[in-house]
Amino acid sequence: MDTEGTQGTSGAAAEHGRAAVPHPARPVAPPPRPAHAPGVRDEAAAGSEFLTWLRTPRPSAAPGMWRFGHRPRPEAAPAVTPVRQLLTGAVIAFLVGWLVWSLLWNGYLGGWWLLPLYAMIPESWATPHSFMSVVVVYLYYGIFAVGITVAVGRLGRWGEIWRRFGYPAWRRAAEPVQAARPVAPEKDPVRWPTLREAGAAEAADRLGADARAGLMRDVDHARIARAWQGVKRGKHSLAAFSAAVVKDGAAACPHPSGVRDLPARAARHDLGTAQVRLGAAADDERNPYAYRGVGLGIGPDLLGTSLLAVGPPGAGKTSAVVWPLAESLCLGALAGRAAVIVVGAAGAGLGSPDAYDVVVQVGQPDSAYDLDLYGGSTDPDEAAAVLAEALVGDLADPHPSGDSRRSTTVLGQLLGPYHAVHDRFPSVPELRQLLDGAPTALGALRKALTEAGHEAMLRELDARERQLGQPGDVGAVLADRIALLDRPAFASFFDTSGRTRPFSLRALDHPVRVRIDLPERGHADASRILARLVLAQFTANVAVREDRSLFACLVLDDATGVVTPQAVRAVQRLRSANAGAILTLRTLDDVPRALRSPLLGAVGCRMALSGLTPWDGQDFAEVWGKEWTETRDVTDRQIIAETPAGKALHAVRRVITGRAPTARAVTVRRVERERWSASDLAHAVPPGHAVLSLTTVRGEHAPPLLVDLRG
């Protein structure tokens, strides 16, 4: 029994032919447990830690809040007494209590407070200096002293002093996350009550036994829960699911690779909520009180609206944002509920090759996988549209007298006839010759079309030949761009003859983990073309998936030169396809001016890291808008004395304080101000921090939050 959406590679090959993802041979046995996964040194400890993880409460929370063990805070900050006023009041209350007790003890207030004592004790105890007399009198004194102390403590707010200083915040933060309150046995998640209610008690017993024995991990639990969702939707039968679980226990419903965890984890993950922790919201007055000090958790519910992170080199985009998110998506893929494509420069710090099923190293002769230039498509028009976006999508108008849509038309006039004759698309050198209008290549294609009787395709080729050399022809621009891929470094890539193992984005129907390394060094323009190609293929394929319950995400570690008008429109449509994109930029100057506002509007999650320029900050400030806030204007007015005594008193105060006597007036107004101004974003965000706004796929919003990415 495979996890839902985790059909093996053979199933994908049967459906898509060579466009399938050929998984490398993987060991069936799980890798060693990561250092901070819910499995540790021995099985008993592993079982205890996993059970604690499983039973920890995950209450509903506002967007972006880390739900694992979350303790909700009030929406508004409680009134806080200033420290000076608090300590002064405590000291004065203590002195008042001491004075009252001294007056009572020494009899300065009379003996009225001893009347209840004389009224309650028997006459036999009233003998002076008797044992019972001494005990009762001092006990009465103690009760009265305690009463005075309690009254003085309430008056001086000693309890608030203890909570603020005697039990400081750092000790509360160091407390371990508390597990749930004991729950009823029938609701214990370890017993899998949903399986028992459906009649799969034997499977539930096996899973509970594996959990208690330390044989189950968080990935196993998430993977089996995902398979159970397939049973409830009718995709799998209950009998087959139960049989697989009874047989294999926590190893049931495996990922096609057979892997049950990542080799190591760099971030903190909670697969119960599919969240990864990216630090914590700073305890700053700019943040809403309910968010201050709360962990920041990002999951598919937020990534489904796509995320854009902008920050200079060294701000932590890759290490603190991209890789933790990619790692979370890789864990989701192992659990059978996500597919992830990670694109970045070789050596960019996007995890080890063992964390992926497929690693495409473009430009490296020893790469085990190739990249399908046409995305596994067999439709010439579809392939032409995607390839045109990759080649000239960054050019708003490839030719002064032409239109960008002509690029798609030109490619279609060549790809259609070639595919009709050869049952495949041309390789990069062949396509370059056709775009250059080489007589030999065009003549051979015409001859083959004539012999096969493809009259319609001959008309397409005739139209292409008529346009060659014309002022409005964009074929020369396309030929120049495709020449960037027709280099010796890429000679063994983009093969269409079937000699290599090409990866196709048609595989997004499966929980696959893919990393594509781009040859940034010496081939920057080619890398941008390939990045646009992957983005265009991704947005085209996620919209036609059969199983949209699988969350698909594209991670672009550097989106420089990738943002085009078509890309912006495509990113907006990802939300409806249960997909998302993670894009990073060094600066918004890498995006054409006309596309900056549309890009910021197309994504639901926007992150501005420390070190942003004021020009970039202005764009973020505009998209985040303004809010109503209260301002306090304080005015000091000098007091003018009218009488000689008043003037003398003012002179004495001026000598003592060095300032003239003033009267303070406070005016409170409601004004509309920017949530974060361009200057604040450029100069007030500390190193290692970022300002992040969030939107869920359900339309819930979180205001811009100052986040400590190291917390």
pLDDT in tens, 527-540: 999 999 999 999 99
Q: 10 Å Cβ neighbour count for 55?
A: 15
| Residue 452 and residue 343 share a domain | no
Residue 500 sits in the same domain as residue 595: yes
Q: How many CB atoms lie under 10 A from the CB of residue 74?
A: 8
Q: Rounded CA gap, 70 and 72, in Å?
A: 6
Q: How far is 119 from 42, CA to CA, in rounded Å?
A: 70
Give the whole-angstrom CA distance, residue 537 versus residue 514: 14
Q: Let me know whether 538 and 599 are in one domain.
A: yes
Compute the average pLDDT of residues 12-30. Answer: 36
For the stretch 502-561, pLDDT in tens is: 999 988 989 999 999 998 777 899 999 999 999 999 999 998 888 888 999 999 999 999
Neighbouring-strand partners of residue 65: 296
Q: Which residues form the domain of 201?
A: 184-254
What total number of domains does the chain contain? Answer: 5
- Summarised one tens digit per residue, pLDDT across range 96-137 is 888 888 887 787 777 676 677 666 666 666 556 667 677 777
Please report the pLDDT score of residue 389 as a whole number.
Answer: 93
Nearest-Å Rg of the Cα atoms of the chain is: 36
Partner residues linked to 344 by β-bridges: 517
Digit-coded pLDDT (tens) for 344-379: 988 888 989 999 999 999 988 889 999 999 988 899
Can you give the pLDDT at residue 397? 55
Residues 442 and 463 in one domain: yes
- Residues with Cβ within 8 Å of residue 9, at least 6 apart in sequence: 20, 21, 22, 23, 256
Cα 542 to its chain centre, rounded Å, is 20
Q: Decide if 573 is inside a domain.
A: yes
Token pair belonging to 196: 């028992």
Which stretches of 113-267 are assigned E, i.e. beta strand? none
Return the structure tokens found at 125.
Answer: 């105890």
Q: Which of 277, 279, 270 is nearest to 332 (CA)?
A: 270
In this prediction, residue 159 carries a pLDDT of 84
> How far apart, in whole angstroms, are the C-alpha atoms of residue 557 and residue 573?
21
pLDDT, residue 168, reads 56
> Parallel, antiparallel, or unpaired: how do β-strands 701-708 and 689-695 relate?
antiparallel
pLDDT-derived band at 235 (thresholds 50, 70, 90) equals confident
Instruction: Report DSSP state, residue 321.
Output: I
Distance CA(421)–CA(400), nearest Å, equals 34
CB within 8 Å of 524: residues ≥ 6 apart: none
Residue 200 lies in a domain: yes
Q: Please check whether residue 686 lies inside any domain of the structure.
A: no
Shared-domain flag, residues 593 and 521: yes
Q: Is 433 helix (H, G, I), strand (E, B) or coil?
A: helix
Share of the chain above pLDDT 70, in %: 87
* Arithmetic mean of pLDDT over the chain: 85
Helix (H) or strand (E) holding 486: none
What percent of the chain shows pLDDT beyond 90? 57
Look at residues 125, 146, 171 and tell me which one is the last residue of a structural domain. Answer: 171
Instruction: Say what the pLDDT of residue 8 is.
Output: 37
Mark residue 705 as left, alpha or beta (left: phi above 0; alpha: psi -120 to 50; beta: remaining). beta
Q: Are 605 and 692 in contact (CB under 8 A)?
A: yes
CA gap 381, 143 in Å, rounded: 93
Q: Is the pLDDT of residue 390 over 90?
A: yes
Indicate whether 356 and 470 sit together in one domain. no
* Separation between Cα atoms, residue 9 and residue 507, nearest integer Å: 9
Residue 480 lies in a domain: yes
Can you list the positions of beta strands (E) in 59-128?
Answer: none
Shared domain check, 505 and 366: yes
> What is the C-alpha separation between 444 and 427, in angstroms, rounded?
15
Does residue 138 lie within any of the structural domains? yes
The whole-number pLDDT of residue 541 equals 93
Q: CA dist 105 to 92, 98, 129, 135, 301, Å?
A: 20, 10, 18, 17, 69
Could you give the CA distance from residue 240 to residue 344 in angstroms, rounded to a whole number?
Answer: 41
| Contacts for 281 with CB less than 8 Å, ≥ 6 apart | 64, 287, 291, 292, 293, 294, 295, 296, 705, 706, 707, 708
Q: Which residue has the tokens 């003996």?
A: 111
Q: What is the largest CA-CA distance in the chain?
A: 135
Give the count of beta carbons closer than 10 Å to the beta carbon of residue 644: 8
| Spatial distance between the Cα atoms of 359 and 371, rounded to a whole number of angstroms | 10
Cα–Cα distance measured from residue 417 to residue 361, given in angstroms and rounded to the nearest whole number: 31
Residue 540 shares a structural domain with residue 585: yes
What are the CA-CA distances from residue 581 to residues 231, 377, 552, 607, 609 (Å)? 29, 22, 9, 14, 18
- How many residues are there in the chain? 711
Listed residue (618, 605, 610, 613) closest to 704, CA to CA: 605
Q: What is the CATH number of the domain that holds 599?
A: 3.40.50.300
Span 424-436, pLDDT tens digits: 999 999 999 999 9
Does residue 540 form part of some domain? yes
Global confidence as pTM: 0.81
| CB count in 10 Å sphere of residue 702 | 20
d(CA 222, CA 30) in angstroms, rounded, equals: 16
* Residue 107 per-residue DSSP state: T
**DSSP H or E run through 442:** helix 439-452
CB atoms within 10 A of CB 409: 18
Which residues 6+ apart lie within 8 Å of 329 measured at CB?
A: 303, 338, 340, 513, 553, 555
Please tell me the predicted confidence (pLDDT) of residue 629: 81
More confident residue, 323 or 139: 323
Indicate the pLDDT class of residue 42, thresholds 50, 70 and 90: low
Which token pair is 673? 């101000």
Angle value at C-alpha 370, between 367 and 372, nearest 5 degrees: 165
Burial class (CB in 10 A: 0-12, 13-18, 19+), 515: buried
Contacts 24+ apart (CB under 8 A), 452-461: 452/420, 452/421, 454/417, 454/420, 454/421, 457/416, 457/417, 457/420, 457/421, 458/417, 460/412, 460/413, 460/416, 460/417, 461/413, 461/414, 461/417
**Does one domain contain both 398 and 321?**
no
Q: Is residue 142 part of a domain?
A: yes
C-alpha 578: how far from its chain's center? 15
| Beta-carbon contacts of residue 184 (< 8 Å; ≥ 6 apart) | none
pLDDT of res. 654: 77
474 or 404: which leads in pLDDT: 474
The answer on 609 and 512 residing in a single domain is yes
Q: What is the DSSP string of 27-51?
A: -SSPPPPPTTSS--SSHHHHHHHHH
Q: Say yes or no: 504 and 368 in one domain.
A: yes
Q: Which two tokens stand for residue 208?
A: 């509970």
239 in a structural domain: yes
Residue 368 and residue 500 in one domain:
yes
Per-residue pLDDT tens digits for 648-671:
887 877 776 777 788 778 788 888
One-letter-per-residue 3-state SS of 631-686:
EEEEEEEECCCCCHHHHHHHHHHHHHHCCCCEEEEEEEEEEEEECCCHHHHHHCCC
DSSP 319: I
Task: Report the DSSP beta bridge partners of residue 633.
Answer: 667
